[in-house]
Amino acid sequence: MTEPLLRVEKLGKTFQPAGGLFAARRPGVCAVDGVTFEIAPAETLAVVGESGCGKSTLGRLLLRLIEPSEGRIHFEGRDIGALSAREMRGVRARAQMVFQDPYGSLSPRRTVAQIVAEPLEVHGLAASRHTMRERVAALLTQVGLPPAAMDRYPRSFSGGQRQRIGIARAIAAGPSFIVADEPVSALDVSVQAQIITLLQDLQESNGFSYLFIAHDLAVVRHIADRVAVMYLGRIVEIGEKRRIYTAPHHPYTQALLSAVPQPDPDARRARIVLEGDVPSPTRIPSGCSFRTRCPLARDICREEQPALQEVAPFQYAACHFAAPNPIRI
């Protein structure tokens, strides 16, 4: 059996309130709570959920851009939580991020060559300026941009082209793992498809693993191997894409999928409308965090937090009343 590239065990992050006279009296914000999963080499795990569910925080935790409050992260066989800042520099050559905003993530004062070459400089991967420019030209070609673009500034490019520059920067140091944090959400629909295709082509040629963060399940369907659904910092369902999309077991997953547009205009699917609002992450409900909006909630849901349990082969759901609801996609 192939060893996972990344293994996360009971990962959690609580943001404590800023200092001040009454800071100790204010509750912390629980952004990620007891998350456990694995990612295999060359696999894409998509993490989906509503805004504020902890998806982006999870991505940053995996790269140690922020430090976890609890749990362990094993990457390429190493517990990266135990590494020093110097040791983490080597890890970051192997684990990179593509950011959501193609406009704000690129410095307007630096040329494309300077932006893409930054990881090469940081990790000492170019012996000379000439070698570096050759490498940047090759990277730009890989992401579908002309090498002549290297001496221009980001303002000269469209949103989709800027995201290609961001992707070139992310792959420059030869990573094995990339966190793609909603990389197409700020782009037009037609451009989204192009970027998704690019990410898939790069994965096929380079063997990257992706953690692909998104809120749009229609986008996820085209790139994911497995899907993890998050709600208030917890994974409530995880499994192979086909099983998640055709027979979701958790009522929250079922509600999300009921809102996905269908390619067949003649198809009909009952829309599941959840009542109420997402609770504040400073006051997560006892027991099952979804119970305040769940049509299946009973007394046990208030008293006991459900654990992720196998509900079908390679599919897990955290619900006391998990049951498949076939979805026509």
Query: Where residue 142 falls among pLDDT bands split at 50, 70, 90?
Result: very high
Mean pLDDT of the region 294-321: 95
| Phi and psi, residue 14, nearest 5° | -120, 125
Whole-angstrom distance, CA of residue 38 vs CA of residue 96: 17
Helix (H) or strand (E) holding 29: strand 29-39
267-276: long-range pairs with CB below 8 Å, 24+ = 267/328, 269/327, 269/328
- Round to whole Å and give the CA distance between 151 and 160: 18
| 166-192 pLDDT, tens digit each | 999 999 999 999 999 999 998 998 899
Question: Which two three-digit tokens encode residue 262?
Answer: 């269908």
Q: In the predicted model, what is the mean pLDDT of residues 42-52?
A: 95
Q: Could you give the C-alpha distances from 132 to 112, 128, 170, in angstroms and in order?
A: 13, 6, 15
Residue-wise pLDDT for 229-282, tens only, equals 999 999 999 999 999 999 999 999 999 998 887 666 555 567 887 888 889 888
Q: Provide the whole-model pTM.
A: 0.93
Q: What are the boundaries of each domain within the chain?
A: 250-329
Using an 8 Å Cβ cutoff, are 133 and 217 in contact?
no
Tell which wins on pLDDT, 233 or 218.
233
Q: Label residue 143 exposed, middle or buried (CB < 10 Å: 0-12, 13-18, 19+).
A: buried
**CA atoms 169, 175, 181, 183: torsion sign:** positive
The DSSP bridge partners found for residue 75 are 6, 78
Residue by residue, DSSP assigns 53-65 as SSHHHHHHHHTTS
**Largest separation between any pair of C-alpha atoms in the chain:** 68
